[in-house]
Structure 1
């Protein structure tokens, strides 16, 4: 007793219909589409949850009490460098107190 096998064209039509009903992609040649990777969950959000965020000294001091404050060596060095630049005349220019004191206004005259 031989089993009845449907024609390949009928099987292809059935597969095409099944894909349209269940909203899957019809790929009769089994070409690589990357659908497996596009369907996969993104890893970024899970990684962000796993690794803690970096907490800077300034952020820690913003939340800490006076007795728990930390010394920020980088900030102290930055302030010292700014002072040194100002002494040499390389600091940021002074801001104009009024509109008449501005450099742009002096240029126009």
Structure 2
């Protein structure tokens, strides 16, 4: 019984990969194909965890009943206090002439 030549076996493997549309990897290099073929986990996780109902989302739902969002109220008061102390965000430039970046370029 004669042994089959390695070149013929490699050609057979290459043809099999073409026919069945699999990756031809004769050197067994890691390709990550296992992870690329795997089912995505994101949609299942989104279905598992329920939607969180926040105060802002409740107020946007419509209706006459509104809830005071104390966290947002506190944030806005902190921003106002920072502005009064001069620590707030800088004003946006209305034109390129007012831009700080333009004045630096010379």
Deviation track 1:48-88 (CA, whole Å, cap 9, x = no partner) reads 22223333202102225435x333112333454466567x4
Q: What is the rounded CA distance, in whole Å, between the counterparts of 1:72 and 1:47 in structure 2?
A: 28
The structural deviation recorded for 1:36 is: 0.8
2:57 alignment counterpart: 59
Structure 2-normalised TM-score? 0.57
Alignment pair present for 1:11 and 2:9:
yes
Classify the secondary structure of the residue corresponding to 1:29: coil
Mind listing any 5+ residue stretches in structure 2 that lack a counterpart? Answer: 90-97, 99-106
1:76 alignment counterpart: 73
Q: What is the rounded CA distance, in whole Å, between the counterparts of 1:85 and 1:34 in structure 2?
A: 50
Q: Which one has the largest radius of gyration?
A: 1
Gap change, CA 1:21 and 1:6, over 3 Å in 2: farther
Structure 1-normalised TM-score? 0.56
